[in-house]
Structure 1
Amino acid sequence: MTKITHAVIPVAGFGTRMLPLSKSVPKELLPLGNRPAIHYVVEEAIAAGIKHIVLVGHAQKSAIENYFDTNAELDHQLRQKGKDALADSLNWLPEDVTVSMIRQGKALGLGHAVLAARPIIGNHDFAVLLPDVVLDPFTTDSHSDNLAFMIKQFTNDGHSQILVDKVADEDVHKYGIAKLSEGNDTSIKNDNSKVSENVSFKVAGFIEKPSLDKTPSRLAVVGRYVFSNQIFGYLANTTASVGGEIQLTDAIDALISQYGVNVTTMRGDSYDAGDMNSYMQAFIYFAQQQLTDN
């Protein structure tokens, strides 16, 4: 099976949870320390072996595409002033990595956003990284290792992979929660301790934002996926459901029933850069780490 080298990052959302910060600046470009949030997500993808990144956005998100492009005038001005190192740091994408942008058109949900990338992804299998979720780049346990493990597992057994992490009892109602197949270790399902290594196993399905008394586990979807190209066929045939949107979870359920899907337990920590409270905590943490490094 060919190694995955393509990734989709949906960036079309308006970021209403981040208003007023996101009124004129895309939420993905809001800083975590000294870099925009999406910078870390793209770095993560590249470190895991991704060579072609497809941003799915809309007309008001061109600033994100510009961020990953070369600003020839700025580059010239910096080099004229002898600031070559600073100019080099702004053109940080490796030469063998391509960033493309395609417009979603209508805002019809995450599933529709992923489907919008199909003309560029073509017949390739691919990863999906949600830009709201930033994995800790300051530890070796999380930043690229989780995605790299998922890609390796997919390459080995052909099962699509979904990253999950244990959440506290009071938080299960905020997430999509994994319903695991019979025979999986109940401690993985139910206790709240962090895992020390990546483990991949079959999932029976997902329940969206369950109450604590109805949750099938404590394993919440983190925002990292590795999909067989077959997901596109299911998305194309998925009808709009909750909120009039095409739900990615509906296509995943269809994929599970036909081919099976695995969840991978996450190592390290993640930060929700699309929620104001979590974003503020993440900004402080990232800034402290960078000040320490300097």
Structure 2
Amino acid sequence: MIRKAVIPAAGFGTRFLPLTKAQPKEMLPIVDTPTIQLVVEEAVESGITDILMVIGKSKRAIEEHFDRNFELEHELAEKGKNDLLDQVRQVSSMANIHFVWQKELNGLGDAVSYARNHVGNEPFALLLGDTILESYSGVPVTRQLMDVAVKHQGSVVALEEVPVEKVNRYGILDGTEMDDGVFRVNDFIEKPHPSEAPSNLAFAGRYVFMPDIFDFLMQTGRGKHNEIQLTDAMRTMAQSRPMFGTRIEGKRHDIGNKLDFIKTNIRYALKHPDMKDELAEFLDDLVKKRFQ
């Protein structure tokens, strides 16, 4: 049983400056919920009970969000706002959440290595803190990976089909399909030219790793941007033991850039019972006026 997860959330979020000068990008709201809370909810719905967040400078707001706020709870209780009180209390009780500080920003691989003592000798899920995965099947994407990892007894990366002309933006799988949507990894190609891409299956921001990933991270030198790249460790691991990829039943929402952040807010707002009808009407009017 996979019960632990790691969520890296230490980056600066420079694409959202000046907003992220003092506020973590992972706390940017999707309608009324911080992005990282949606990530935690996915982990919990997948059966995860223990979460380690790797944070850095100016990320204190993340710790405070998942901690109790007794003054706020008292205020809500005094005013009889029980629905809001329940929501606030639920945030701090979803899972056992721990924090560790990444002292220097030396890449995603370095951030993951900070989890070694916490994870121990157990498999674990890795969820990127600025990426939301919306499930189409009702089964959370992290759970989809966990099921594949248990079945095949190996590390698994989430894969999403992307347009061929956009493969040069992503890490791409070179693999052999075993079952429907499950691939044995041969290699990973980082941002290949479309004419040289082995597939159109891109990393989707979710992983399940066997604990030996930490050994490979220890052996991995600095790569692109003079950082320790998780992909480099994964490539080495895939050459010495079985590793798998699974095509997710869902859609990735990367809130790491402004346009996708706005699109994601619109998509989620159109599902929100308090605003979906009025927002849909507003968008219809906006489109009509643009093309008049």
> Is the radius of gyration larger for structure 1 or structure 2?
2
Tell me the residue number matched to 1:33: 31
1:149–1:198 CA contact under 8 A, matched in 2: no
- Name the residue aligned to 1:193: none
Task: Please show how residues 131-170 of structure 1 align to structure 2 within 5 Å.
Answer: 131-136=129-134, 140-141=136-137, 144-170=139-165
SS in 2 for 1:22: helix
Q: Return the letter of the residue paired with 2:245.
A: V
Return the letter of the residue paired with 2:171.
Answer: G
Q: Specify the alignment match of 1:68 in structure 2.
A: 66
Q: Deviations over 1:104-128 (max 9, x none)?
A: 1111100000001112112221010
**Cα distance, 1:199 vs structure 2:** 2.3
Matched residues in 2 for 1:104 and 1:237: separation? 19
**1:54 and 2:56 equivalent?**
no
Share of identical aligned residues, percent? 38
**Conservation of the 8 A alpha-carbon contact between 2:13 and 2:256:** yes
SS in structure 2 at match of 1:92: helix
Q: Which amino acid aligns with 1:56?
A: V
Q: Which AA in structure 1 matches 2:270?
A: Q
AA aligned to 1:206 is: F
Which structure has more relative contact order (CA 8 Å, sep 6+)? It is 1
1:230 and 2:225 aligned: no
**Cα deviation, residue 215, structure 1:** 0.9
**Corresponding residue for 1:286?**
268
Q: Give unpaired runs (5+ residues) of structure 2.
A: 279-292
Alignment of 1:90-109 (within 5 A): 90-93=88-91, 95=93, 97-109=95-107
Preserved CA contact (<8 Å) 1:163 1:225:
yes
* Residue segments in structure 1 that go unaligned for 5+ positions in a row: 186-196
Q: What corresponds to 1:19 in structure 2?
A: 17
Per-residue CA deviation, residues 82-109 of structure 1 (Å, 9 max, x unaligned), is 1222111112148572011101111110
Seen in structure 2, the aligned counterparts of structure 1 residues 198 and 70 have a Cα distance that, compared at 3 Å, is: farther
Q: Conserved in 2, the CA contact under 8 Å of 1:198 and 1:266?
A: no
> 1:218 and 2:200 equivalent?
yes
Identify if the C-alpha distance between structure 1 residues 172 and 264 changes in structure 2 by more than 3 Å, giving closer, same or farther.
Answer: same
Instruction: State how far apart, in whole Å, the 1-side matches of 2:92 and 2:36 are.
Output: 16
Moved over 2 A (4+): 93-96, 139-142, 291-294
Tell me the equivalent position of 2:183.
Answer: 201
Q: Deviations over 1:115-153 (max 9, x none)?
A: 0111211222101001221112xx5426x4322121112
After TM superposition, the score normalised by the length of structure 2 is: 0.89
Question: Structure 2 CA distance, aligned partners of 1:147 and 1:19?
Answer: 30
